[in-house]
Chain A
Amino acid sequence: MIDLSHIAKRYGRLQVLDDVSLSLPMGKSIALIGPNGSGKTTLIKCLLGMVVPDKGSISFKGRNILGDWSYRADIGYMPQIGRYPDNMTIAQVFGMMKDIRCLPGKDLDEDLVNAFQLPLIYDKRMRTLSGGTRQKVSACLAFLFNPSVIVLDEPTAGLDPVAAGILTKKILEETNKGKLVLITSHILSELDDLVDEVVYLQDGRVRFHKSLPQLRVDTGEQKLVRAIARVMENATI
């Protein structure tokens, strides 16, 4: 359960987030969508403590996260552009993350690692990896420690269709286990069977936060792509 209340963030003259309040329940898969530069990534970074909001508070399972760090043990994050130390091999990156994060007694979720066949290229250096392979590494790291909240920033951008399929399947599985999955994506067609709720962000404000069936009823469209297009055209829903 994540509660954001009245989050505001300003970069210089640009108001990136403006009074954002959201309540994200567990066991749901939530899509965070909006045009480029609408503040999606900044919102996610606030949630992860990478960006400190100017105003407002965020609570994670009832605990205020500002200035806290331990709550991140329960979040898996897949960044939009995964950046890793160039000189390390894939195996070393995994080893290091396990070393830093792993609590004894907590079992690792290596489904994705095996599904993506990463062990075959374990000794490649991060510098030599293609964008897609980097994304695979990021995805594996997000799921590896069995967190109860998973945050995915543009997860399938750059993945080939097979890998995207594997990832989508994994996301569905985890949602069914009662985890909270937060996804941002521009590829709306793939979100149709994936998400339960939609948050639409524009110019740093939440335009609406609805469940997917509700959105379908309100717009009279079956497909999310059409529904969002309808919202953008009308701008009054």
Chain B
Amino acid sequence: MNKIIKYVVLDILRNKILVSYTVLLFAITMTMLFLQDNQTKSLLSLLNIVLIVLPLVSIIFSTIYYYNSIEFIELLVCQPIRRSRILLSIYAGLALSLLIAFGIGVGLPLLIMDHSLTSVLLVLIGALLTIIFSALAILGSVFMRDKARGIGVAILAWFYFSLLYDGLVLFLLFQFSDYPLEKPSIVLGSLNPIDLGRIILLLRLDSSAMMGYTGAVFKSFFGSAGGILLGFGILTLWMVLPLWGAVRRFNHKDL
């Protein structure tokens, strides 16, 4: 298994797109950290960029990489290797390379310049989002045989999670504003990994005061150590479930 991961990582690290992604992340992090004198403010700006850019790059890059390595997969499938192992190795290689890029671009500079618990949390959430969105990419591309359709689905998924979903939630909250919606909104927040990441971090930054009563409920739920753990648990599920579905499909797929 490690051997396949090694080949995938070596292949991706030579990719210029990934290198420029790293440089971009690094530049953004440095700009945010140096241009603003307020720590919280710069972390917030960085958070917003991480929440938009990371899922987008992870899901698109992973999808395209999967389709480009169809040959590699075909070559491996007729070798004495378990199928689930092939898919999981390719996923692991992808996620690992994206994590390396994120680690160099955001993780290292942030942890060196600002060693607060909040920035550790930000790095953790970024890492989890990278892992989650490459898992979603694998799920989509295993199900879609056609490359163009696969990339379309990946873009739609990103669009849904980062824009559409928030719109839907807002719509629901307005429609049912006569009812107590604090608990449903916690559930709604957990159904989207990006929102969940945002909530966990915003509560650390004490911006919850701006969110009124809902913010207070969020604070009492996600603000505690148990709540944060639960949040990370749900994020882990967001990684495991798509992978499980992808492996199940891949085991019976005709290549």
Contact across chains for A100 and B76 when beta carbons are under 8 A apart: yes
Q: Which candidate, B66-74, B110-118, B194-202, is the interface stretch facing chain A?
A: B66-74
Number of residue pairs A-B, CB distance < 8 angstroms: 60
Q: A83-B71, A85-B72 are in contact. Are A51 and B254 (CB under 8 A)?
A: yes
Residues from 236 to 255 in B contacting A, C-beta threshold 8 Å:
252-255
The residue among A50, A85, A96 with the most chain B CB atoms within 10 A of its own CB is A85
Residue of A nearest to B6 (CB): A99
The verdict on A52 contacting chain B, using a C-beta distance below 8 Å, is: yes
The verdict on A71 contacting chain B, using a C-beta distance below 8 Å, is: yes
Minimum Cβ distance to chain B for residue A147 (Å): 10
Choose from B11, B80, B252 the contact partner of A85 (Cβ within 8 Å).
Answer: B11
Given the complex of chains A and B, what is the CA–CA distance between A45 and B253 in angstroms?
12
Given the complex of chains A and B, what is the CA–CA distance between A32 and B150 in angstroms?
36
Chain A: interface residue count, which band? 20 to 34
Choose from B71, B75, B77 the contact partner of A49 (Cβ within 8 Å).
Answer: B77
Residue of A nearest to B71 (CB): A83
Residues from 68 to 112 in A contacting B, C-beta threshold 8 Å:
69-73, 75, 77, 79, 83-88, 96-97, 99-101
Given the complex of chains A and B, what is the CA–CA distance between A85 and B254 in angstroms?
20
The residue among B75, B77, B81 with the most chain A CB atoms within 10 A of its own CB is B75
Residues of chain A whose beta carbon lies under 8 Å from any beta carbon of chain B: 11, 45, 48-52, 69-73, 75, 77, 79, 83-88, 96-97, 99-101
Known A70-B80, A96-B7, A101-B80; further 16 A-B contacts with Cβ < 8 A: A45-B254, A50-B77, A50-B254, A52-B253, A71-B80, A72-B81, A75-B78, A79-B74, A79-B78, A83-B71, A83-B74, A84-B75, A85-B75, A97-B79, A100-B4, A101-B79
